Amino acid sequence: MDTVLTKSTALVRNPNMLGGIILAVFLAGVMFLGGALVPYDPFKIDMGNRLQEASTLHWLGTDQLGRDIFSRIVFGAKLTIGLGMLAIFMAVCIGVPIGLISGYIGGRMDAFFMRIIDGILTFPDFILAIAIAGILGPSLTNIVIAIVLVRWIVYARVVRGLVLSEKEKEYVLVSKTSFSSPIKTIRLHLLPHVMPDIIVMAAIDVGKVILLISALSYIGLGAQPPIPEWGAMLNDGQGYFQVKPSLMVYPGLAIMVTVLCCNLLGDGLKSHFDIRKGRQEL
């Protein structure tokens, strides 16, 4: 109990971490309680009340179709953050096992695959995502597929590098020579070793992916109207920014706060786990 307490106070003492945790608690609250709290149906069109200013009835005003902006942003939180986390979760689930196995087996096969992966990694992931999303057709599901297709490679690459540097160490060799199955060695010794790196990467990556999803939605390749994904809201309301700037301000602010939360958490966790700099940032 004592160690848990000292550990958690050490975490909180890092200002980035503290800021990140506060934002994360706030965002989680919005995500899980938001549905119950929003005053209006985020999809309900009310042409009599279009482009209203902020008031006690509509806290952030209404958009060009009379929909309540506050309700849409709160509803969008679940969507934007949830999809970002889902995409990274899937990328981790695909990339980490492949990286572990490839690094563990090593040899020519591993070298060959990594050459290929390096080749793909030098290609800008945003453009690849545009191409894939464009070919599959614009929709949120396809965006998530595109992102998973692009991102898992990064995890495979990093995990494989970590395994390579670790697998000649004594404790792994002992496990290998004591007739444990490769799967057991990987699960008991190598996976826990790469976990901190994966957590830090994933925390920062969720933010990156949210930026990616919203950018793709903004250019029209992601969420389609009337879905209140934040990037799509910016696309949707673009014609009305001049008459009603709040249509532009709040969705963007929501994206920024969310990504900031991810970056702060990632930074805080990085110094908490004492992950050295110089590892390739991907």
Partner 1 sequence: MQRIVSIISTRIFQLLIMILILSFVTFLLMKVTPGDPIRAILKVDDVVVTTADEEKLRQEYGFDEPIFVQYGKWIWGVAQLDLGESLISNRPVLDMILNRLPATAALSLGGLVALLLISVPLGIIGALYKGRWPDYLSRWTAILGASIPSFWLGLLLIYFFSLKLNLLPVMGKGTLAHYILPSITLGIAMAPIYIRLLRERLIATMQSTFIEAARARGIRKERILVFHALRGSLIPLVTMFGLSIGSLLGGVTVIEILFSWPGMGELIVTSVMQRDYPVIQGYIIIVGFLVVLSNLAVDLLYLIINPQINQEKESV
Of the candidates 149, 30, 126, the one whose C-alpha atom is nearest the C-alpha of residue 141 is 149
| Vertex 219 angle, CA 214 and 223, to 5° | 55
Region near partner 1 per CB under 8 A, out of 26-34, 42-50, 156-164, 216-224? 216-224
Task: Tell whether residue 239 is a contact of partner 1 (CB under 8 A).
Answer: no
How far apart, in whole angstroms, are the C-alpha atoms of residue 217 and residue 255?
A: 12
Task: Tell whether residue 133 is a contact of partner 1 (CB under 8 A).
Answer: yes
Task: Tell whether residue 75 is a contact of partner 1 (CB under 8 A).
Answer: no
Residues touching partner 1, count (CB under 8 A) = 47
Q: Which is nearer to partner 1, 46 or 110 (CB)?
A: 110
Q: Which is nearer to partner 1, 143 or 194 (CB)?
A: 143
Task: Tell whether residue 248 is a contact of partner 1 (CB under 8 A).
Answer: yes
Among residues 79, 96, 114, 132, which is the contact residue for partner 1, using CB under 8 A? 132
Cβ burial of 281 (10 Å; 0-12, 13-18, 19+) is: exposed
Task: Tell whether residue 256 is a contact of partner 1 (CB under 8 A).
Answer: yes
Q: 43: which 2 tokens?
A: 């999809």
Shortest Cβ 238–partner 1 spacing (Å): 8
Q: Are 212 and 126 in contact (CB under 8 A)?
A: yes
Of the candidates 63, 85, 64, the one whose C-alpha atom is nearest the C-alpha of residue 72 is 63
Task: Tell whether residue 275 is a contact of partner 1 (CB under 8 A).
Answer: no
3-state DSSP call for residue 43?
coil
Among residues 234, 236, 268, 269, which is the contact residue for partner 1, using CB under 8 A? 234
Q: What are phi and psi of 279, to 5 degrees?
A: -70, 140
Among residues 48, 107, 119, 192, which is the contact residue for partner 1, using CB under 8 A? 119
Task: Tell whether residue 26 is a contact of partner 1 (CB under 8 A).
Answer: no
Q: Are 138 and 201 in contact (CB under 8 A)?
A: no
> Which residues touch 240 (CB under 8 Å, ≥6 apart)?
51, 63, 64, 247
Shortest Cβ 171–partner 1 spacing (Å): 28
How far apart, in whole angstroms, are the C-alpha atoms of residue 132 and residue 216?
A: 11
Region near partner 1 per CB under 8 A, out of 6-14, 44-52, 97-105, 234-242? 234-242
Task: Tell whether residue 171 is a contact of partner 1 (CB under 8 A).
Answer: no
Cβ burial of 53 (10 Å; 0-12, 13-18, 19+) is: exposed
Q: Which is nearer to partner 1, 121 or 195 (CB)?
A: 121
Among residues 263, 268, 269, 270, which is the contact residue for partner 1, using CB under 8 A? 263
Among residues 9, 56, 178, 242, which is the contact residue for partner 1, using CB under 8 A? 242
Q: Which amino acid is at 271?
A: S
Q: Which is nearer to partner 1, 190 or 216 (CB)?
A: 216
Among residues 10, 57, 93, 127, which is the contact residue for partner 1, using CB under 8 A? 127
> Concatenated DSSP letters for 69-121?
HHHHHHHHHHHHHHHHHHHHHHHHHHHHHHHHHHHHH-HHHHHHHHHHHHHHH
Interface with partner 1 (CB under 8 A):
115-116, 118-120, 122-128, 130-138, 207, 211, 214-215, 218-221, 231, 234, 241-242, 245, 248-249, 251-252, 255-256, 259-260, 263-264, 267, 277, 281
